[in-house]
Amino acid sequence: MSSDKKTFDIRREAIGILLFFLSVAMMLMYYLPADITGALGSFIKSVGFGSLGPTAYAIPVILAYMAFDYFLEKRAGVTKVRITSILLLIVLISSFMALVSMDFDLFEQLCAGDDGEAKATKAISLLWNSGMDSSLITSTGASGNAIAGGLIGGGIAVAIHSVLGTVVGGIAVVFFCLAQVVLVFHISLKKSAQKAGQAIKRGTTTVYRNVNRAREEHQARVNTRQTYGGPSPFVNDQGQRRHVDVTGRTEIETDPFNTKIPVDSKSGFIDVSAAEFGADTTPHPDTLNYGEKAHRVPSEQHKADFTYTPTPKNPPPHTHGKMEVPSFLDKRQQDFFDLSGGELPTPPENDDTLPYEVTSGATTTIRRPRVDTDALGPVIDEQPVAYAPEAPAAPAVPVPAPSATVASAAAPSQITINKPSPNKGFSDTEGRIVDTGKANAAPSVDIPSAPATGKVVSKRYAVYKPAPTNLLSKDEKSMTSANSNQELREKAATLEQALKSFGIDSQVVNITHGPAITRFELTLATGTKVNRVLSLQDDIQMAMAAYSVRIEAPIPGKSAIGIEIPNDKTQAVHLRDLLEDKGFKGTTPLTVALGKDIPGKPIFCDLAKMPHLLIAGQTGSGKSVCINTILCSILCKSSPDDVRLIMVDPKVVELSIYNGIPHLIMPVVTEAKKVSNLLKWAVVEMERRYRLFSESDVRNLDGYNEYLKYNGEKTLPLILIIIDELADLMTVAGKDVETQISRLAAKARAAGIHLIIATQRPSVDVITGVIKANLPSRIAFSVASGVDSRTILDQVGAEKLLGKGDMLYYPGTANKPIRGQGAFVSDKEVETIVNFLKNNYGARYDESIIESVNNGVGADNDNGGGDSGSGGGGNAEDDLFEQAVEVVIEAGSASSSILQRRLGVGYPRASRLIDLLEKKGIIGPFEGSKPRKVLVTQIDWLEMKAKGGK
């Protein structure tokens, strides 16, 4: 039983987590704008509002409540009852709002068909749409919109109104809601009423007691005043006592320590100006008459003066000292001057007491801070030199003219020489004149006057900014013809008539108009075979007078057939619109834009997940433009630290324009014989990376980069190899190239090395079975025959493409190819992007890789190459070997990170030095995550050097 209960709790917690995730996701989709949530969010929001209307805003809250109920409630069966009751409660609330706010007469009129009778389909459509826009069921004269209940709530409201009416139906819905509230919150109406009655009774009793207590206290105060015989306790002093002596004379005894001044019984204040309360001024030696009262006072108090004066008669002696005002503050000047034509006032003369110097000109007065030149030392006349922030130290650059700039304006490492001020000894800073000759205490900088030569090229950028998308041309929105919809309907009717002439009954149910292709979706009559439509492809092409017709039978996910017909006017798909799409932002470094599908949705692909891509198409089909599109997508998104490129262009003219960009590891390879060496180097680099993964106990490049980041080391970039023409390479060195490509395609994915292979001749002798098996993702442009189409896609269809970017995109995860229009980027746009990167960053070639490829050194040694950014030779004896020995002996341990920091080399060269140190017996073997031990001392190393050994 305990095991079953534990399983039950785990299942409930899993369901609770899932419901909480759904609640948060739907909360974002429902409450955020549609341009943030995307197409999925808009669809889910439309489903909720179409079903329940505005009540759908409560769906995320209900999901959150359900999640917490699954977490907290441990009793079996209770949660399901609550959830069911909550869902019914939401539906009832939606129905109640629709019932009390809808105009059912207007609704019935809107649902009427041409014959005047209500149509169920119109009613369903109207209820669904009114859930998202309540103005559809609101009359024009109404003060506000109706609160629609969507398809579910509105449908129930219409049914209740038809059966019970609005009033009775509303009451019934309210009582049903109360019943659901009882079930949800487990509330008993009987017990709630009893508790409410008891609370009212207790409150009434408390109020009654408080009123009686207040009444008794008030009566006690009244009795007290009556006992002392005065209307106010302020008037009749308890310190006074009356008594009658034996002679019958009444005497007043006054306590000298408890004497009070008579106070008005109405206001409680003394009003000495009122006549009825005026003091008796008749002289009396012992009493003071005030109204009807007589008070015993000392003999001198009847002469008291009760008149009010605002100032004391005898103020205490106090004198205020005069505040001293500084002389420079006492000099008041005129704030405003009359500029209408009069003469301006004469400025004040120089005053030694002022904290600044005043220099009078023709119409202006210049004030400069007064600086003690004797304290600052001698004046140095020099030109100010401003260095860009975070620039690395560089030697002084000769300057020929007053103004010069070294390196690009956009590069971080730059030196700017400001133009000297016309005022000697002063510099202009934001409109102010600052005496730099007197106030500058910094040492002088000697800049020779020789002309500047060369540029400062940095191989590491503090902040890298990709090429901006505004360098690309933007899509011009073409005006849609007013008759375009009518033309599409006419084509649909022509298509139906053409199929009917061959005995096939069909109906066009949907028309998708894309930038280059229009797809007509047809449903066939029951019993009609799909092969009959496929066999009529040429007849349909002739009937529609189309350049080409492609039939997709059936459409994946639909019980319909798609007939794709070219548009009369093709719209170009510009790359800039795809790169600025919100779906392209926030993707991986190797995500590229390919084009748009038939409905006009962008097609993006992640080359890291492909993992390799095969592009084939005849001349003029758009293959080279597709490669340029992929490269421009990377250049406008990723930095050289994330992606490094290797390009092979046997045709020389296609990819050579990219020479000089920072993403290239080496210049574009145009000689077919060097490609074999390049691929061998790529295989060696792949094997080297796998050895690094094994030493770090990771499985792929992402995990290894996380390991490097954790240790504070530089990460390894992704490597993308683009081969423009495979047919020429297979002709020159077919077997060797095929072997290396097969090895890379089979194993290089986890190492972060990916391939893009393009060819004009997709025949079996070029795209062999070994290569094809390891390239699952393919893009087919227009080809000459169905045989070539089968070679690329394993099916026909590419021979029916139109060319000029019309393509079939077949990723390895899809069941069928996706037809789309490839993005267009002109040669001028490519040149603009390349020039931007060249001028701002320059090339970052790895000389060791270039030497390895040129000399044919790749697979013969085991040193590998650079890490596409780090230098280092491939020789067995490294020129930094002795320095590396000194570093590890001084540190007491050996690791690649230490050599990287001390010697300023990249990770591959540091790793090779570690291997060489181990081979020479300087350090110990690899011990997991621990640093390697140093086996020699400083004395041992000096002896080894003296003997001439390393």
What pLDDT is recorded for position 704?
Answer: 92
Query: Looking at per-residue confidence, does 281 or 191 come out higher?
Result: 191
Decide: helix, strand or coil at residue 337: coil
Report the pLDDT averaged over residues 434-459. Answer: 38
Q: Is the predicted pLDDT of residue 477 greater than 80, yes or no? A: no
What pLDDT is recorded for position 870?
Answer: 39
Q: Is the predicted pLDDT of residue 753 greater than 90, yes or no? A: yes
Please say whether the beta carbons of 434 and 610 come within 8 A. Answer: no
Q: How confident is the model at residue 144 (pLDDT cuts 50, 70, 90)?
A: low
Distance, CA of 859 to CA of 584 (rounded, Å):
38
Report the pLDDT averaged over residues 440-452. Answer: 37
What are the structure tokens assigned to 67, written together? 């999640």
Report the pLDDT averaged over residues 621-635. Answer: 92
Report the pLDDT averaged over residues 65-81. Answer: 70
Please say whether the beta carbons of 496 and 508 come within 8 A. Answer: yes
DSSP H helical segments within 274-356, as ranges?
Answer: 327-330
What pLDDT is recorded for position 686?
Answer: 92
Query: Looking at per-residue confidence, does 225 or 419 come out higher?
Result: 225
pTM of the model: 0.46
Phi, psi of 513 (to 5 degrees): -100, 110
Interstrand relation of 718-723 and 643-648 (parallel, antiparallel or unpaired): parallel
What pLDDT is recorded for position 755?
Answer: 93
Distance, CA of 929 to CA of 895 (rounded, Å):
10
Per-residue pLDDT of 84-139, as tens digits, reads: 777 888 788 878 877 777 777 777 777 776 666 666 777 777 777 777 776 666 66
Distance, CA of 564 to CA of 237 (rounded, Å):
112
What pLDDT is recorded for position 899?
Answer: 87
Tell me which H or E stretch contains 35.
Answer: helix 34-52
Instruction: Tell me the Cα Rg of the chain.
Output: 47
DSSP state at residue 822 = E
Contacts of 796 (CB under 8 A, 6+ apart): 786, 789, 790
What pLDDT is recorded for position 829?
Answer: 92
Percent of the chain with pLDDT over 90: 12
Per-residue pLDDT of 547-598, as tens digits, reads: 888 888 888 888 889 999 988 888 888 899 899 888 888 788 999 999 998 8
What pLDDT is recorded for position 314?
Answer: 55
Q: Smallest Cα–Cα separation from 468: which of 837, 825, 841, 843? A: 837
Which of 512-521, 624-633, 764-773, 900-909 shows the highest mean pLDDT? 624-633
**Lowest-pLDDT choice from 151-155, 348-352, 484-488:** 348-352
Per-residue pLDDT of 18-36, as tens digits, reads: 878 887 887 777 777 777 7
Q: Is the predicted pLDDT of residue 191 greater than 80, yes or no? A: no
Report the pLDDT averaged over residues 586-612. Answer: 89
DSSP state at residue 499 = H
What are the structure tokens assigned to 819, written together? 């037809």
CATH of domain 847-946: 1.10.10.10
Distance, CA of 495 to CA of 497 (rounded, Å):
5
Q: Is the predicted pLDDT of residue 360 greater than 70, yes or no? A: no
What pLDDT is recorded for position 353?
Answer: 46
Q: Is the predicted pLDDT of residue 74 greater than 70, yes or no? A: no
**Lowest-pLDDT choice from 1-10, 541-550, 658-667:** 1-10
Task: State the virtual CA torsion across 266, 270, 273, 274 in degrees, nearest 10.
Answer: 30
Q: Mind giving me the DSSP string for 621-679? A: SSHHHHHHHHHHHHHTT--TTTEEEEEE-TTSTTTGGGTT-TTBSSPPB--HHHHHHHH
Q: Is the predicted pLDDT of residue 545 greater than 80, yes or no? A: yes
Q: What is the mean pLDDT of the chain?
A: 73
Q: What is the largest CA-CA distance in the chain?
A: 155
Report the pLDDT averaged over residues 758-769. Answer: 81
Per-residue pLDDT of 781-839, as tens digits, reads: 999 888 888 888 888 888 888 888 899 999 988 888 888 999 999 999 999 999 999 99
Q: Mind giving me the DSSP string for 379-444? A: ------EEEPTTPPP-------SSSEEES-SSSSS-EEEPPPPSSTT-EEETTEEE-HHHH--SPP
Distance, CA of 471 to CA of 834 (rounded, Å):
10
CATH of domain 610-668+680-839: 3.40.50.300
Report the pLDDT averaged over residues 712-740. Answer: 85
Contacts of 678 (CB under 8 A, 6+ apart): 646, 648, 669, 853, 858
- Chain CA centroid to CA 369, Å: 49
| Domain 484-566 is found in CATH 3.30.360.10 | no
Q: Is the predicted pLDDT of residue 475 greater than 90, yes or no? A: no
The string over 361-381, giving b where at least 16 C-beta atoms fall within 10 Å of a residue's C-beta and e elsewhere, is eeeeeeeeeeeeeeeeeeeee
Q: Is the predicted pLDDT of residue 491 greater than 50, yes or no? A: yes
Which of 243-257, 462-476, 493-507 shows the highest mean pLDDT? 493-507
